[in-house]
A and B are shown apart, each in its own frame.
Chain A
């Protein structure tokens, strides 16, 4: 489903070159739940961002459904992100000026759909994460756990095949973290392919496969 070959990411400042990722080769199969672990600054989030086409590698190739994306235009990449991928971020990244329902609708705004069908899909996604009673609230009226559930609803509203979660429980207490993990496990059971960056060994154990990074290099 997602194939990364010889991925390298170099950050260049005025006279310092930092190698964030070095020779990464990963093949994520359809329906897998893969976790990525490693110490802080080892390149986990960079890897996830490259996988989700939010960032470009300095070298190497990415293929989604066996199609290399190097030559894709901005529009093609946007289309792919919109149709195939749903993101969950550690810091939620909700738009504070929009209601919960409007936030969840965002991925559908860039598809051809009617206002009514968008509303219905967003309500359905919020029901799945148990937040149907908060639809008209705004993000700053919610707790951290609730915000992350909104972020999950937004990630799944367009039924993407891939969900990329960057430390989705990082800002939550353990009870809330488990609740979020359970939602992700349910989504995976329903057929979604999930890649999750985590610091929590216990959570990683519940996934199908664990990829470990150290100083930008894949160690397992």
Chain B
């Protein structure tokens, strides 16, 4: 039966090459946009290098203090002290790592300035993340305790800084902001979009320039809390919140008193959304995404519905014949839905090829530093689902109209 339907769908496609081209062009274009968009969202929010454990991690990025009237607010990353007292002491997580946000430094090579993204981090940072060490190793607690001037650099920086790419950079010296550091490890560079982990060079957190000993709750650091499993998230959040609730209030800062502390251990997606859309406005992001998807899928689907409905008469004879020989309306409705899904799947295949080409060009373009957009199983799964929804959307209305035709009217119209 299914084969019969697909055979008919294929013949209908071949019958009018121009119409088929227009239909497939529309479907392909729509699905390509959706697949590229899905791939981009996955690139931003999915678990990718060097954060493969994102789905098992909670992120603590900012700490906000407010006065009781909520008229004055101070929002900033965390201080080392806060991390030490309220995050590192948590018992539920498997591990806690921390680092600063990216800052900038300069290095000079043969008179040429190299601008570097820098980050200060602790030894556990290398365990809660998944940086691939191409050479050497990460700095450890001992290196940090000794106050060693060591640094981990990326392969991209190694390529820029050291003339001989084939020789190991480990043990060599690199001068950054007029200070010399010994290269201890070389990692594969991560995309700039990995907000919590991206950098060109990584220093131990206790080097003087990190200002890690600032007093108070706020500073330059963010923390990644690795859970034993995703199911521990709630327990970790409860333990963390309980610890924060023990902080004596009010807090005095720059002559102002603050009575409310707001700090959250959240999944990466929630953290990002909360940062860019504070005050519970994350919902607008989801509404926006749904709206864009509906527009992107809805308009071509409506167009396809119109095209399909206008072609009902062309298939009327077939509908009449099938009904005369015992096809119930539901079977016919399914036939046309399956046909539409089949056509959408063909469009989806073209879209997949087009998407692979587009993201390959995008990755090579350097628009996003070290971008690694890809079509992985989840992106492919979402794309497949989108194809199915699109096929259903554009197939149901024509299918219902076709299947409700009276047998005799359908036969006569041919």
**Min CB gap B363→A, angstroms:** 43
Q: Is A69 engaged at the interface, CB distance under 8 Å to the other chain?
A: no
Do the beta carbons of A110 and B318 come within 8 Å of each other? no
Do the beta carbons of B321 and A97 come within 8 Å of each other? no
Task: Provide a sorted-by-A list of 6 A–B residue pairs whose CB atoms are within 8 angstroms.
Answer: A89-B411, A91-B414, A95-B318, A97-B318, A106-B321, A106-B325
CA distance A154 to B325 in the complex (A): 9
Do the beta carbons of A109 and B8 come within 8 Å of each other? no
Contacts of B408 in A (CB 8 A): 49, 54-55
**Known A52-B324, A102-B7; 13 more pairs at CB < 8 Å:** A55-B408, A74-B328, A74-B329, A78-B323, A81-B325, A82-B326, A82-B327, A95-B317, A97-B318, A98-B8, A107-B326, A109-B1, A110-B325
**Min CB gap B335→A, angstroms:** 10
Contact of B327 among A52, A89, A110 (CB under 8 A): A110
Contacts of B327 in A (CB 8 A): 78, 82, 109-110
Contact of A110 among B8, B320, B326 (CB under 8 A): B326
Main secondary structure of the interface of B (DSSP, over half): helix
CA distance A82 to B328 in the complex (A): 10
CB-CB under 8 A for A82 and B12, given A49-B408, A93-B414: no
Specify the chain B residue showing the minimal Cβ separation from A106. Answer: B325
Contacts of A81 in B (CB 8 A): 323-326
Do the beta carbons of A102 and B4 come within 8 Å of each other? yes
Q: Is B330 engaged at the interface, CB distance under 8 Å to the other chain?
A: yes
Q: Is B322 engaged at the interface, CB distance under 8 Å to the other chain?
A: yes
Which residues in B have some Cβ–Cβ distance to A below 8 Å?
1, 3-4, 7-8, 11-12, 15, 317-318, 320-331, 406-408, 411, 414
**Min CB gap A81→B, angstroms:** 5
Specify the chain B residue showing the minimal Cβ separation from A94. Answer: B321
Q: Is A33 engaged at the interface, CB distance under 8 Å to the other chain?
A: no
Specify the chain B residue showing the minimal Cβ separation from A103. Answer: B321
Contacts of B15 in A (CB 8 A): 97
Do the beta carbons of B324 and A87 come within 8 Å of each other? yes
Do the beta carbons of A87 and B325 come within 8 Å of each other? yes
CA distance A171 to B12 in the complex (A): 27
Do the beta carbons of B1 and A95 come within 8 Å of each other? no
Do the beta carbons of B329 and A95 come within 8 Å of each other? no
Contact of B12 among A55, A89, A91, A97 (CB under 8 A): A97
CA distance A110 to B323 in the complex (A): 10
CB-CB under 8 A for A54 and B411, given A82-B325, A106-B321, A154-B325: yes
CA distance A54 to B325 in the complex (A): 10
User: Which residues of chain A in 76-117 are interfacial with respect to chain B, using CB atoms and an 8 Å cutoff?
Assistant: 78-79, 81-83, 86-87, 89, 91, 93-95, 97-98, 102, 105-107, 109-111, 115
Q: Is A75 engaged at the interface, CB distance under 8 Å to the other chain?
A: yes
CA distance A102 to B325 in the complex (A): 13
Specify the chain A residue showing the minimal Cβ separation from B409. Answer: A55
Contacts of B7 in A (CB 8 A): 97-98, 102
